């Protein structure tokens, strides 16, 4: 007796199975069952009587081997045993039950996940479990979950970066606006800009930038924007606002095409003079003409301003190329150099005669000496660096009081008295010791940093310190 004889046909069931399927023999039915599932299991009284595995992947892995004669419940993981009991107790009628997902232990790292649907051939007769391998589906689901987690992490990082940007943007004392390059609409303005323009930053947003100026000033702004888009940066002097106040403007472009934006700085001469007593411009001009490089960075060592001497040392054509870059791109043998320098600044507020190297944009290096100062408790914190090239001086004029070590003189006097290989060995030992002492001096006896500069492991450095007796002097 088949399943259709126990229930009335529905619009989703065959309507005349007696006429169409009554002639099927057992082999044909078995073939249909095998082809319609990845695995088919015949269970009687809870025991596996027969198994057919159609999936080539499952066959290669040896899946279902040794099942025949065992209770079906023993072939699944502990978390699936209750599901097996429910499926076997589905009733005496020849009705199928809803699919259940079972985990089968395997020799691999993970269990094999199979979705089963059971059907009885006749009341009190064997149960046929038709299974579908869900490992690929599970893998796709896991990939989807991982991708979703990655998106959420990236979104969280983006939100944090946006928050930091807004905090820095508001903290900058210079009046700054960000405007679109096509319609000249203000997208963002800090409080300093709102103070100069006489409007709250919230009211400035979505405002026509040119509309903030008099007709003559608006034309100057449009010319400045056109020049900035063409060359990357431009300025406009004595630009009149609608209030009658005159300001100077500088604009630089970031982004490309329709997404391009302009960063516009407003220079309010009257406000600058009142704050500096009339000496601000003279001070800036003096720093610009200083023969030594002068650099100002934020607390994360990103360059905010640099004078002409630094641009020449770094082979940069204008200040915009340096602005926003990390100082480590140009200054320091490694990040350890700057870490030592910043640690000194945080501890003492100033640093003098710090020897390091300066790299230009073509990676050519010059020996330099750095003096630096920190604004300390002020928020936001800034660092100022004065950089002087000293490589030529080191080559021609040794520093006073620093003569060559006597051991070097001693080595040169050994020529003719000892074989060359012995002199070379002693010279190598001397050079190695001098390099270690120089690294310790450079890092203020910070041995972890000295090991990094020398390209040694900490254990290797400690071994050499002990060998040369330097460890005993520390």
The pTM of the whole model exceeds 0.85: no
Q: What is the mean pLDDT of the chain?
A: 80
CATH at residue 242: 3.30.450.20
Burial annotation 259-278 (CB, 10 A radius, 16+ → b, else e): eeebbbbbbbeebeeeeeee
Q: Which long-range contacts (CB under 8 A, 24 or more apart) does 81-90 make?
A: 87/116, 87/118, 87/127, 87/129, 88/43, 88/46, 88/118, 88/127, 90/118, 90/120, 90/127
Burial annotation 421-459 (CB, 10 A radius, 16+ → b, else e): eebeeeeeebeebeebbebbebbeebbebbbbbbebeee
- Say what the pLDDT of residue 402 is: 39
Residues 119 and 8 in one domain: yes
Mean pLDDT of 410-432: 68
**Domain span at 427:** 406-473
CATH at residue 457: 1.10.10
- Say what the pLDDT of residue 95 is: 47
Mean pLDDT of 123-152: 88
Return phi, psi of residue 47, to 5°.
-100, 145
The band of 372, judged by pLDDT with boundaries at 50, 70 and 90, is very high
Query: Taking the mean position of all CA atoms in its chain, how far away is CA 333?
Result: 24
- Say what the pLDDT of residue 120 is: 81
Contact between 344 and 262 under an 8 Å Cβ cutoff? The reply is: no
Residue where a domain stops, chosen among 116, 133, 150: 133
Count of Cβ atoms closer than 10 Å to residue 368 Cβ? 23
Residues 35 and 98 in one domain: yes
Mean pLDDT of 315-323: 86
DSSP conformation letters of 315-376: T-SSHHHHTTSBGGGTB-SSHHHHHHHHHHHHHHSEEEEEEEEEE-TT--EEEEEEEEEE-T
Residues 412 and 440 in one domain: yes
Q: Report yes or no on 92 lying in a domain.
A: yes
Residues 372 and 454 in one domain: no
Residue with the two structure tokens 């323009």: 197
- Say what the pLDDT of residue 286 is: 78
Residues 347 and 391 in one domain: yes
- Range with the lowest mean pLDDT among 38-42, 155-159, 268-272, 454-458? 268-272
pLDDT above 90: residue 437: no
CA distance 236 to 192: 19
- Say what the pLDDT of residue 373 is: 92
Mean pLDDT of 130-153: 89
Residue where a domain stops, chosen among 133, 163, 187: 133
- Say what the pLDDT of residue 401 is: 38
Radius of gyration (Cα) for the chain, nearest Å?
A: 40
Q: Could you tell me the two tokens for 208?
A: 């026509």
Residues 383 and 418 in one domain: no
Q: Which long-range contacts (CB under 8 A, 24 or more apart) does 404-411 make?
A: 405/430, 405/434
Mean pLDDT of 110-117: 87
- Range with the lowest mean pLDDT among 15-24, 270-279, 395-404? 395-404
pLDDT above 80: residue 412: no
Residues 308 and 292 in one domain: yes
Residues 241 and 309 in one domain: no
- Say what the pLDDT of residue 379 is: 67
Model pLDDT for residues 198-254, shown as the tens digit of each residue: 888 888 888 899 899 999 999 999 999 888 888 888 888 888 898 888 889 999 888
Mean pLDDT of 137-165: 88
Residue with the two structure tokens 């529905």: 10
Residue with the two structure tokens 């082999």: 27
**Of 56-60, 400-404, 414-418, which one has max mean pLDDT?**
56-60
Residues 259 and 289 in one domain: no
- Say what the pLDDT of residue 275 is: 47
Q: Report yes or no on 20 lying in a domain.
A: yes
């Amino acid at each position: 007796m088949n399943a259709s004889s126990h229930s009335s046909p529905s619009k989703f069931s065959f309507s005349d199975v007696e006429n169409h399927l009554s002639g099927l023999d057992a082999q044909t039915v078995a073939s249909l069952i095998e082809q319609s599932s990845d695995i088919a299991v015949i269970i009687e009284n809870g025991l596996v009587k027969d198994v057919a595995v159609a999936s080539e992947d499952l066959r290669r892995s040896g899946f279902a081997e040794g099942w025949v004669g065992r209770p079906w419940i023993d072939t699944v993981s502990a978390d699936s045993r209750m599901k097996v009991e429910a499926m076997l107790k589905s009733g005496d009628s020849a009705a199928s039950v809803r699919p259940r997902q079972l985990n089968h232990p395997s020799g691999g790292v993970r269990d094999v996940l199979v979705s089963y649907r059971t059907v009885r051939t006749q009341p009190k007769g064997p149960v046929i479990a038709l299974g579908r391998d869900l490992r690929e589906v599970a893998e796709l689901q896991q990939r989807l979950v991982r991708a979703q987690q990655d998106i959420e992490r990236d979104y969280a990082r983006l939100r944090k970066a946006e928050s930091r940007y807004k905090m820095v943007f508001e903290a900058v004392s210079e009046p700054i606006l960000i405007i679109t390059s096509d319609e000249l609409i203000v997208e963002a303005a800090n409080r300093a800009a709102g103070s100069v323009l006489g409007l709250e930053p919230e009211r400035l947003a979505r405002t026509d930038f040119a509309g903030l100026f008099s007709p003559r000033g608006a034309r100057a702004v449009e010319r400045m924007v056109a020049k900035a888009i063409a060359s990357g940066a431009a300025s406009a002097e004595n630009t009149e606002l609608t209030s009658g106040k005159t300001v100077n403007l500088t604009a630089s472009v970031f982004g490309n095409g329709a997404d391009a934006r302009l960063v516009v700085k407003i220079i309010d001469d009257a406000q600058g003079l009142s704050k500096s007593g009339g000496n601000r411009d003279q001070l800036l001009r003096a720093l610009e003409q200083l023969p030594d490089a002068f650099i100002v960075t934020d607390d994360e060592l990103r360059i905010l301003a640099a004078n002409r001497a630094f641009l020449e040392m770094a082979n940069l054509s204008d200040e915009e190329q340096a602005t926003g870059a990390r100082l480590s791109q140009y200054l320091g043998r490694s990040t350890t150099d700057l870490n030592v320098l910043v640690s000194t600044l945080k501890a003492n507020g100033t640093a003098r005669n710090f020897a390091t190297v300066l790299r230009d944009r073509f990676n050519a290096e010059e020996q330099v000496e750095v003096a630096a100062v920190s604004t300390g408790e002020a928020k936001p914190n800034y660092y100022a660096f004065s950089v002087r090239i000293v490589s030529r001086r080191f080559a021609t004029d040794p520093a006073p009081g620093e003569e060559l070590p006597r051991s070097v003189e001693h080595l040169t006097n050994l020529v003719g008295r000892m074989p060359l290989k012995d002199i070379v060995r002693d010279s190598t030992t001397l050079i190695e010791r001098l390099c270690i002492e120089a690294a310790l001096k450079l890092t203020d006896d910070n041995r972890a940093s000295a090991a990094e500069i020398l390209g040694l492991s900490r254990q290797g450095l400690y071994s050499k310190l002990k060998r040369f007796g330097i460890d005993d002097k520390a």
